């Protein structure tokens, strides 16, 4: 089970991980986009983590909603807005819960993905963050149905996200600035999907 304290600690870890990978994300994004992804993610998660420490709430859904609102204000870019939308939509799904298990986490991440898909008009196969997170949702749902532990489910979800990221190398970008490059985007991993993989990594690492 994750408690509100676990979620706060994971946001601290996410802030650290996105900061650590900032230059890599800038480089990936610079090849096909405007190169601000590393800054957007490190700033967004740092501000969200900071805000959560001063937010006296134990409802995990409300905590995620708060993180989403802070994200939207701190980094009002395309990816910042998508991440904010995902956090708010995912939070709504589990609102009222002070502890979440694997099935709850799967439902939250499914809401997160649906929020991003609705906002960004993207679907699996479009070479976006969805291509890392959608396989992660399926892995979480399968693990929950099989009665796996939270740690086992999150490890499977991270591995599925990493495979999804790898698969984006064979896809052609359909959205954002990268879409201008079309065929030239072949062979390159999608920066957004890289963020999705890192997002899952932080949760899996925390459970280790």
What is the SS3 string spanning 140-175? HHHHHHCCCCHHHHHHHHHHHHHHHHHHHHHCCCCC
* Contact yes or no for 144/102 (Cβ under 8 A): yes
> Around Cβ 156, how many Cβ atoms within 10 Å?
21
Model-level pTM? 0.93
Query: For tokens 């708060």, what's the residue?
Result: 66
Query: For tokens 């995990």, what's the residue?
Result: 60
HSE-up (13 A, CA, CB side) for residue 61: 13
pLDDT of residue 171: 85
Buried b (16+ CB within 10 A) or exposed e, 76-106: ebbbbbbbbbbbbbbbbbbeebeebebebbb
* Contact yes or no for 90/112 (Cβ under 8 A): yes
Q: For the chain, how many residues are written?
A: 208
| Cα 95 to Cα 19, 60, 107, distances in angstroms | 29, 7, 11
Q: Which fold has domain 2-207?
A: 1.25.40
pLDDT of residue 30: 85
Tokens of 197: 């993989």
Q: What is the pLDDT along the chain (208 residues), one digit of tens a residue?
A: 999 999 999 999 999 999 999 999 999 988 777 789 999 999 999 999 999 999 999 999 999 999 999 999 999 999 999 999 999 999 999 999 999 999 999 999 999 999 999 999 999 999 999 999 999 999 999 999 999 999 999 999 999 999 999 999 888 776 555 444 555 556 688 999 999 999 999 999 999 8
Helix (H, G, I), strand (E, B) or coil at 100: strand
């Amino acid at each position: 089970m994750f408690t509100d304290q676990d979620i706060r600690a994971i946001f601290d870890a996410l802030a650290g991980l996105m900061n650590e990978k900032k230059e890599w994300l800038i480089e990936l994004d610079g090849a096909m986009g405007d190169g601000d992804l590393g800054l957007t993610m490190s700033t967004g998660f740092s501000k969200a983590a900071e805000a959560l420490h001063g937010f006296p709430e134990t409802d995990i859904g409300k905590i995620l909603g708060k993180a989403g609102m802070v994200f939207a204000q701190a980094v009002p870019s395309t990816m910042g807005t998508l991440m904010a939308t995902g956090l708010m939509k995912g939070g709504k799904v589990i609102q009222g819960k002070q502890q979440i298990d694997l099935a709850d986490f799967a439902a939250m991440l499914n809401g997160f993905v649906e929020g991003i898909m609705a906002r960004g008009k993207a679907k699996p196969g479009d070479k976006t963050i969805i291509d890392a997170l959608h396989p992660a949702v399926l892995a979480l749902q399968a693990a929950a149905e099989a009665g796996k532990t939270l740690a086992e489910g999150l490890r499977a979800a991270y591995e599925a996200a990493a495979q999804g990221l790898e698969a984006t190398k064979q896809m052609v970008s359909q959205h954002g600035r990268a879409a201008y490059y079309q065929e030239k985007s072949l062979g390159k991993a999608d920066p957004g999907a890289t963020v999705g993989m890192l997002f899952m990594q932080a949760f899996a690492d925390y459970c280790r």
